[in-house]
Amino acid sequence: MLKKRIVFTLLYDCEYFVLSRNFRLQKVGKLDWLEKHYGFSHIAFYIDELVVLDVTRGQKDSSRFCANLEALTQGCFVPIAAGGGVRNVSDARRLLHSGADKVIVNTALFDNPDVLVDLTSAFGQQCIIGSVDIKKDELGNHRIYTNNGSQAVDCTPRKTLAQLPPDTIGELYLNSIDKDGTGQGYDLDLLDLLPEEWSTPVILAGGVGNSSHLIAGLHDPRVDATATAHLFNFVGDGLQKTRDAVQNDGISLATWPSLKQLALHSPPDLSLS
């Protein structure tokens, strides 16, 4: 049986890491705040992947974002996926050189889907994650939105996703704008919008308030990983307790030694910081 995964998502906006509710942003703190309350060399033992997204409105400062990304990668052994404004191979390469293992593409999926072919040719399919943000329009129909949730795609989600160039994305990050930041649980109806016989692994995002929401998402056979971006719900030992709760519910996750176990079996001068 394939292992399921827990993904922790960080949202970055002009030097600050932020909370998002229905794509409205609230500043929380800079990198030093993040390290003080989390410490990614430690919480890496309780997540399977880290996603870092530059959600800056307007002009993005890619150099500053990459500097923050590079700092986050220090001592964090889980795979890191990064995105935000990726439009071409050069944008993707800059993120990979800053410590990312995978690249996330959102708006360009639909504005210029041919870029997926270029990215896959340069880095391989498993390196590319397609990110899709969905919400209901005024008529109650699910629509894909691009450019930080400001522009709707004309076609239905199912038709739009079916038109993506084949064999160009290794995973799909499927996010609900309506549920984003509400803490009310995932919109599992989004999974019904996928094309028939969809086989690309799905990371479900948007709406997590506690471990029970992650568990509900992971129990769905169509979901390969669940993501949360809520900084305040999982501070301290929150992610550790969440992973324990998920495993205690019978969901298969990867296992590795704890920090305590490593300390007991490592040479005295081994640094875990």
pLDDT attached to residue 58: 85
- Output the CA torsion sign for 35, 40, 45, 51: positive
**Residue 133 annotated in active site:** yes
For 24, residues 6+ apart whose C-beta sits below 8 A from its C-beta are none
Catalytic residue among 133, 180, 187, 224: 133
**CB atoms < 10 A from the CB of 143, how many?**
20
pLDDT digits (tens, 9 = 90+) for 8-60: 999 999 999 999 999 999 999 999 998 888 887 788 889 999 999 999 998 89
- What secondary structure does DSSP assign to the chain, as a single string? -PPBEEEEEEEEETTEEEEEETTEEEEEE-HHHHHHHT-HHHHGGG-SEEEEEE--SSS--HHHHHHHHHHHHTT--S-EEEESS--SHHHHHHHHHTT-SEEEE-THHHH-THHHHHHHHHH-GGGEEEEEEEEE-TTS-EEEEETTTTEE-SS-HHHHHHTSPTT--SEEEEEETTTTTT-S---GGGGGGSPTT--S-EEEES---SHHHHHHHHHSTT-SEEEE--TGGGTTTHHHHHHHHHHHTT--B-----HHHHHHHS-TT----
Residue 166 pLDDT greater than 50, yes or no: yes
**The Cα angle at residue 234 between residues 231 and 235, in degrees rounded to 5:** 80
Q: Quickly tell me which residue has 């769905």 as its tokens.
A: 220
pLDDT attached to residue 232: 85
- What secondary structure does DSSP assign to 196-244, as a single string? TT--S-EEEES---SHHHHHHHHHSTT-SEEEE--TGGGTTTHHHHHHH
Q: What is the pTM of this model?
A: 0.92
pLDDT digits (tens, 9 = 90+) for 115-125: 999 999 999 99
Mean pLDDT of the chain: 91
Q: For the chain, which domains are there?
A: 5-265 (3.20.20.70)
pLDDT attached to residue 75: 77
**Residues forming beta bridges with residue 253, ordered by sequence position:** 4
